[in-house]
Structure formats: structure tokens, C-alpha cells
Amino acid sequence: MNAAELDALVRQFLVDHKLSDTERQVLKDWVAKNIGNEHQRAVARSRIFEAARSSVGDPQAAMVIEFLEDALRVVVPMTPPDQSTAPDEVFFSPGDACLQRIISRLNGTRLSADICVFTITDDRISAAILELHRRGAKVRIITDNEKAFDEGSDVVRFQQAGIPLKVDITPFHMHHKFAIFDGRRVLNGSYNWTRSAANSNCENVVDTGDPAAVARFQHEFEQLWTKLS
């Protein structure tokens, strides 16, 4: 996606704060050439709103534009693709393969992410989780109490952002490492969401849209969520 070209077009269109018929067609042509999936569409929409906010000098008007963007995320969410039909894939570390798949799934999620992971300390993943929450998706996190406040843990950041989060309250470990995206796809494996898992450890992640597997993991998440209430 040519984001710089979009930014230039929008700045040009905003000079008179109107979208003429000609400009509308130019924008349609740009979308046809550059938008290939819902993630790219969401990024483009976000950049247009940001340009609109930057074009007004009145702080109250900027707040109204931000309100409109947030409201549209709720009222008119992007349509999630049918990920259940995508092929199952397996990824290994050391290396960025597992990390990139996790971030890709978070960036492509539109409605919900249920995350059940022993420890989360990789800021690259945490940033994607926080952005997903900011976009209006329903995010829930379950993690282990002994790891929740380790050095580098992002649990406090999630809580401060208003993400619902629960921790294991037993003397044992909540050792799962899985996440369900839009109720249609699950990532599972040995991979903790940490930099050491990407940089040093021999780990794995399985990405599947098998309906039976997704349903089983969703059931496990809901049981844990209720148990930890």
C-alpha cells in the first residue's frame, strides 16, 4: 500500500474541506490499486482520519473527528475475512517467523482476540495488542500470576489501557500459550510472547482455522475466564 501517496492526496483534498466528484473518483481509483485486504483498508481509513484531525486548528473539532473515528469502529467494523478456510501453518524459532505470525494475526483481527499466554513481555506484540484494543476490538487476556509482574511484563500497560485481564490465582501455573482471533483462528504452541522466545529458544506456533480446534480452545478460554472471576 502506497501510504505516502494517500497522505498527499488527502492533504490536497482537505484544502477546501470538501470532496469533489473528481476527487472522489481519484480516491476510488487509489483504493482499487492499493487496497487488497481489510487490514490495509483499516490503515487507510485511520490515516485519513489522522489527516483530517491535523487539518483543523480547533481542538474541539479535532476531538469531534476522533469521536467519529472511534464510533465508526464500533458501528461499522471492518468485515473479518473467513480465516477458517486458510491453510494450517506451522512456525518455529529462533527467528522472527512465530513473532511475525502473532503480530500479523493481531493486526488482521477486527472483532475479538482472546489471549491466554503464560507471559507477555515482547513490546512488539504488546504494541499490536494495544493498537487492536484502540481500534475497538474486544480483547481479553489471561496470564500467569507469577509472571504477570516480572521485569518487562506488559500486564500493567494492558490494565491501564482498560483491557480486561485475569491472572491465575492457584499455586500452580497457567502455562497455556494460545490465542483465538475473531472466533475463527487459533494460534497455539510452546512459544511464549517474549523476545527470548524469538531470539534464542527453540519454540513453535501452530496456526489453524480448524473449526473443531477453535471451538475446543474457545471452550477452554471461557472456562478459565469464568474460573478466575
Nearest Cα residue to 204 out of 86, 81, 88: 88
The amino acid at residue 64 is V
Continuous segment of H or E residues that includes residue 163 = none
Please report the pLDDT score of residue 70 as a whole number.
82
**Catalytic residue ranges:** 175, 177, 182
Strand order in the sheet with 203-208: 89-93, 203-208, 185-189, 177-181, 112-117, 138-143, 165-167
Angle at 221 between CA 224 and CA 79, to 5 degrees: 150
Q: Across the 229 residues of the chain, what is the mean pLDDT of every consecutive 10-residue run?
A: 87 91 90 79 87 90 87 71 77 96 93 95 94 93 82 84 92 95 96 95 97 95 93
How far is Cα 26 from Cα 33, in angstroms, rounded to an integer? 11
Please report the pLDDT score of residue 9 as a whole number.
92
Is residue 158 within 8 Å of 130, Cβ to Cβ?
yes
Report yes or no on whether pTM surpasses 0.75.
Answer: no
Please report the pLDDT score of residue 169 as a whole number.
83
